[in-house]
Structure 1
Amino acid sequence: MQAYVYKSLRKPDTYVFLSARDDFARLPEPVLQQLGSLQFVLEVELSPERKLARADAAAVRENLGSRGFHIQFPPVPGAPVAEAAQPDA
């Protein structure tokens, strides 16, 4: 599954994953207003083997399949950090 990742220019460390590039119509209007402008940062293949640094890749795939988007919020201070993503071999 292909994902397109955007960072919020208003909310630091907040990222939006979309199932289709620049398909912001999938995001509810209140969410768009809170996030402000979004800047494209990455296109990534979310295979079952893929690990993400701060998100559960299976949950991201599920949200992309059912809603067409996934929002990654900033880490909560004191919360456990996910395993760092391993580079592709």
Structure 2
Amino acid sequence: MLCAVYKSLKKDSTYLYVQRRDDFSAVPDVLLKTFGTPVLVTLLNLAKREHLALADIDKVRQQLSEQGYYLQLPPPEDNLLAQHKASLSGLS
């Protein structure tokens, strides 16, 4: 299964996987507006891969097959204040 991966210039660390290069027909218009102008990053053959760096490859394959696209969002940021408060409460 081949796919094209695009990055968003509006949303940091956000990527859009589509089945064919420059074919965004399956992607909802609202999502494309939020995503901004897609910038091609790479073409991937998912059939020859066992994993991806920051996405579950099985979920990517499934969503590409079922809905025609996959949106990869950045991982949630660590809440350093909450971690610090938790470490302080453990000291008491």
What residue in structure 2 maps to residue 86 of structure 1? Answer: none
- Letter of the aligned partner of 1:71 in structure 2? L
2:63 and 2:2 map into 1 onto residues whose CA distance is 13
Is 1:54 the equivalent of 2:54? yes
The Cα of 1:71 is off from its aligned counterpart by 0.2
User: Which sections of structure 1, spanning at least 5 residues, go unmatched?
Assistant: 79-89
Letter in 2 for 1:63: Q
Count of aligned pairs: 78
Aligned to 2:38: 38
CA distance in 1, matches of 2:32, 2:26: 10
More helix by share: 2
Q: Which residue of 1 aligns with 2:70?
A: 70
What one-letter code is carried by the residue in structure 2 that aligns with 1:24?
Answer: F
Give 1:81's aligned residue.
none
CA apart distance, 1:77: 2.0
Question: Partner residue of 1:84?
Answer: none
TM-score (normalizing by structure 1)? 0.82
- Structure 2 length as normaliser, TM-score? 0.80
1:47: Cα distance to partner? 1.9
SS at match of 1:40: strand
**Partner AA of 1:28 in structure 2:** P
> Deviation of residue 49 (structure 1)?
4.5
Q: Give the match for residue 90 of structure 2.
A: none
| Residue in 1 that maps onto 2:85 | none
Opposite residue 42 of structure 2, the aligned amino acid is L
Over aligned residue pairs, what C-alpha RMSD do you find? Answer: 1.2
Identity level (%):
37
